[in-house]
Structure 1
C-alpha cells in the first residue's frame, strides 16, 4: 500500500471542506427561508455530522449548537437529545471528558423521559467509551452491555455493531483475544450488511490491533490496509492517522525504524491539526520507542515525558502505563536499572488497577530481570 504525504492529505481534506462549505452555503441561501423549524434543525444536525466526518470539529460543534438553539419546546426533545449526543461526541474527540459525560448523561435523561430506547442505547455507548478511555473497564462494560441489550431488542443493527466492536476493544485490552475477535467479527458482519463503511473501517482497525497483540502480524497488516482504504474513501482523516500510527508497530517488528518514524510523523501532523491530544500522546510514545531502537536516548526521553504528561492530563491510564513501560525499557537498554525500575513500577501499578493481566505478567518479568 502507498500512502500519500501528509501535505497531500491535508490539501485534499481542505479542498473537500472548502467545496462542501461553498455548496452548502449556496443551498442554504436558496432554500433556508422555505424550511420549517423541524427541517432547519435536521439540516443543522446533518451539516454538523458532515463536518465531523472531515475532522472539522469546531465547525461541527457550531452547527450542533445552532440546532440546539432551534429546539425551543418539549415536542422537539428527540432532536434535542440527538443534538446533545452529537455534541458529546465532539467533546469526546477533543478529550474533553467531563463535558462529554455531561452531554451524554443529559441526552440519556431526555431519551428515558421520552421513551426513546434507541437514543438511550446510544447514550449508554457514549458513556461507556468515556469510562473505557479513563480505564474504568468494569463501568464501561456495564454501560455497553446495557446498550447492547437494548440494541438487540430493537433490532438496531448499526448500534448493535458499534457496541460489539467496542466490547471487542475492551476484551482485547484485557487480553481476551478470542472473545475480542468474536465481537469484532459480529460487528464487521453487521456493518457489511447495512453498508456502514465508517463502522466497518473502525472495526477492521480494531481487528488489526487485536491481531498485532496476538503477534499475528500478517493478519494485522491485512486489516490495517482494509481499514485505511475505506477511511481514505470516506474522508475520515483521524482514522487514517490512527492506521498509520498503529502500522508503526509492524515496521518495528521488521526493524524498519525509519519507515516507522515517517509514519509516526505523518500521524502526528494530523493529530496536531485535529487537537487530538491522546492521539498526539500515543504518537510520542511510539516516537520514544523508535528513537530508543536507534539508541538516541536524548531524543527518546522528551517524547516519553510528553506522552506520559498528556496521557495523565487527559485521563487515559492505559496509555500512561504503556508510556511508562516503554520508558522503562529504554532505561533497561541503557543499563540504568534504577530509572528502569521506577518507570516499570509506575506501569505495574496502573496495569494492576486496570486488571490488564497480560501486561502485569510482562512487567513483573521485566522487573525480575533487572534485580541485582
Structure 2
C-alpha cells in the first residue's frame, strides 16, 4: 500500500473558510469550501538522505505509518481525540527516525483536526510546523498548500493582514513553479480576504481570475466553490442578477459532481436573491429544493437553515403570520439540536416579527 495515499475523510468546519492538504476539509457556512488534490506520492529515497537498510528504523517507520492510518480510521469514525492521540504517537516516531515527509503529513492532519475542534493555537502551531517541513524539503507544492492552510486559519481568526501575506506568498510560489492548481486556489482565497475586508469589487476580480484556472484544469468542486463566492460578492453589492448567474452555474457544477455543500450554498444564494428580485416562484423553487436536499441527506442542520430561509422569504413578502410560524418551527428544531447560538438569533428575529405585528 502506498504510504502517502492515506485520506482521513472529510472534516467539517464551523468557520467561514476551509482548509485542505492531504485531507479534505469543508465549511458548513456560506463563504467557502476550498478543495485541492492531495500531494502526489513521494519517494523517500528521493526526498530524504536517510539510510534505509536499518531494520529498527524500518520497523519504526512501518509502526508510524500504521498509527497514521489508525488515526484516519478513528477520525472517520468521529473520534477526533483518539485520532489526535494516534497521530501524536506517529509524530514521535517520525521525529525519532528523521522522516520529514511523515512529519509534514502528520502535522497537516493534526493542524486541520485541531482547527475543526476550535483549538486554534494548536492548529496554528501544527500548520506552521508543517510549512517549516515543506520549506526544509524544498517541497513547493507543500509550501503552497501549507501557506493556504495557514492563511485560512488566520482568516478565521480575523487576522486579515497576516492571512493576505500568507496567501500572497503562496501565489508567488505558485506562479514561480507554475502550479496552476495552487494559483487558482490562492486567488480564490485572496478573494475571500477582500470580501471579508468589505472590498467586494476586489473580491470579484480575484474570483474571476481564479475561475480561469479552475475551468482550465477541470476542477468542478473548486469552480463551484469560487462561483458561489462570486455570487456572494455580487449579492453583497446588491447585484442580484449577476449573483443569480453565478449561483445557477455553481448549482449545476455541484449537482453534476454530487458536491452537496456547494449545492446547499448555491440554493441558499438563489433563494435569497430571488426573494429580493423575483420572480417569486423561482424563490420558492430554490427553497423547496433546499429542504428536499436536506431531508434526503438527513441533515437537520440544513433543515434548520431551510426553515430560516422560508421565514426570511415571508418577511420580505410581508406575510408575517407565516414568518412567525416558520421561526417558531426553526427555534424548536434549534433547541432540539442543542444549537443555542442559532436559537438565540432566531428568537431575536421572532421578537422583531412580534413587535412589527404588535403581538405580545
The TM-score by the shorter chain falls in which range? Answer: 0.5 to 0.7
1:240 and 1:104, CA in 2 relative to 1: closer, same or farther beyond 3 A? farther
Q: Which runs of 5 or more residues in structure 2 are unaligned?
A: 1-74
1:138 shift after superposition: 1.8
1:225 to 2:291 alignment: yes
1:24 shift after superposition: 4.1
Q: In 2, Cα distance between the equivalents of 1:271 and 1:99?
A: 32
1:174 shift after superposition: 4.0
Q: Is the 8 A contact 2:251 2:267 kept in 1?
A: yes
1:171 shift after superposition: 3.3
Which residue is equivalent to 1:145?
A: 208
1:228 shift after superposition: 4.4
1:205 to 2:272 alignment: no
1:169 to 2:232 alignment: yes
1:70 to 2:133 alignment: yes
Q: Which of the residues 134, 140, 143 maps onto 2:197?
A: 134
Q: How many residues align?
A: 273
Q: Is the 8 A contact 1:117 1:150 kept in 2?
A: yes
Q: In 2, Cα distance between the equivalents of 1:227 and 1:96?
A: 35
Q: Is the 8 A contact 1:208 1:223 kept in 2?
A: no
1:92 to 2:155 alignment: yes
* TM-score (structure 2 length as normaliser): 0.60
Q: How does 1:167-316 map to 2 (within 5 A)?
A: 167-213=230-276, 214=278, 215-216=280-281, 217-226=283-292, 228=294, 233=299, 245-250=308-313, 252=315, 253-255=319-321, 256-257=323-324, 259-260=326-327, 263=330, 266=334, 286=349, 289-290=352-353, 292-295=355-358
1:163 shift after superposition: 1.7
1:29 to 2:89 alignment: yes
1:147 shift after superposition: 0.8
Q: How does 1:342-361 map to 2 (within 5 A)?
A: none
Q: CA RMSD in A?
A: 4.1
- SS of the residue 1:71 aligns to: helix
Q: In 1, Cα distance between the equivalents of 2:307 and 2:226?
A: 24
Q: Which of the residues 80, 95, 101 maps onto 2:164?
A: 101
More helix by share: 1
Which residue is equivalent to 1:308?
A: none
Q: In 2, Cα distance between the equivalents of 1:90 and 1:283?
A: 28
- SS of the residue 1:171 aligns to: helix
Q: Is the 8 A contact 2:221 2:253 kept in 1?
A: yes
Q: Which of the residues 44, 49, 52 maps onto 2:107?
A: 44
Q: Is the 8 A contact 1:17 1:51 kept in 2?
A: no
1:142 shift after superposition: 1.0
Q: Is the 8 A contact 1:212 1:220 kept in 2?
A: no
Which residue is equivalent to 2:118?
A: 56
Q: Is the 8 A contact 2:287 2:310 kept in 1?
A: yes
Q: In 2, Cα distance between the equivalents of 1:137 and 1:186?
A: 20
**Deviation string for 1:94-130 (max 9, x for gaps)?**
4333333222222222222322221111111111122
- SS of the residue 1:95 aligns to: coil
Q: Which runs of 5 or more residues in structure 1 are unaligned?
A: 1-14, 274-279, 298-372
**Deviation string for 1:214-266 (max 9, x for gaps)?**
34442242244256458875x9x7x7876565444146345243652674794
Q: In 2, Cα distance between the equivalents of 1:110 and 1:42?
A: 20
Q: In 1, Cα distance between the equivalents of 2:123 and 2:172?
A: 23
- SS of the residue 2:138 aligns to: helix
Q: Is the 8 A contact 2:148 2:186 kept in 1?
A: yes
Q: Is the 8 A contact 1:257 1:293 kept in 2?
A: no
**Deviation string for 1:311-364 (max 9, x for gaps)?**
xxxxxxxxxxxxxxxxxxxxxxxxxxxxxxxxxxxxxxxxxxxxxxxxxxxxxx
* TM-score (structure 1 length as normaliser): 0.58
